[in-house]
Structure 1
Amino acid sequence: MTTRVPPRSITLDGQLLGYWEREAARLETLAAATRFAWQRRRYLRKAEVAHAKAELSRRREVARGRETPSET
């Protein structure tokens, strides 16, 4: 008989971490495809903010003792 260990619950910070990393990647892709420099700068600024928010969630997860995947 095998004992089942309940999976650890996913925290809001864990969900936000993935969301902000995906959002930053999406914004960087948009920046690479834009025609005008002012649009590219705006997308890159938004991506930078998204990376900062992901890092905040990553630090909170580490403080909880949870491992987080490295940045891609």
Structure 2
Amino acid sequence: MLKTSRIGRVTLDGQLVGYWDREAARLEAIAASSRFGWQRRRILRKAADARAKAERSRQREAARNPAAQPTEA
């Protein structure tokens, strides 16, 4: 008998969390090797935007499945 389960399903928001986290890390690495301060600031702003987008997707993913959330003690 086939057992279908949605627990292992990866949603678009789940994929976006990983993507934006990787993109922010990549941008921070580029900023660390930037030659000029204005370049560094601009790239760090882009990295902060990417982290904000990851957090937004993380919250959507959490709202989608409230039973999977860890409880705080």
Provide TM-score, normalisation by structure 2.
0.79
Q: How does 1:10-49 map to 2 (within 5 A)?
A: 10-49=10-49
Provide the aligned length of Structure 1 versus Structure 2.
Answer: 66
RMSD after superposition: 2.0
Q: For 1:17-68, what per-residue CA distance to the aligned partner results, in whole angstroms no more than 9, with x for missing partners?
A: 0000000000000000111001000100000100000000000111012658
* Whole-angstrom CA distance in 2 between matches of 1:10 and 1:62: 13
Structure 1 unmatched ranges of 5 or more: none
Identity %: 61
Structure 2 unmatched ranges of 5 or more: none
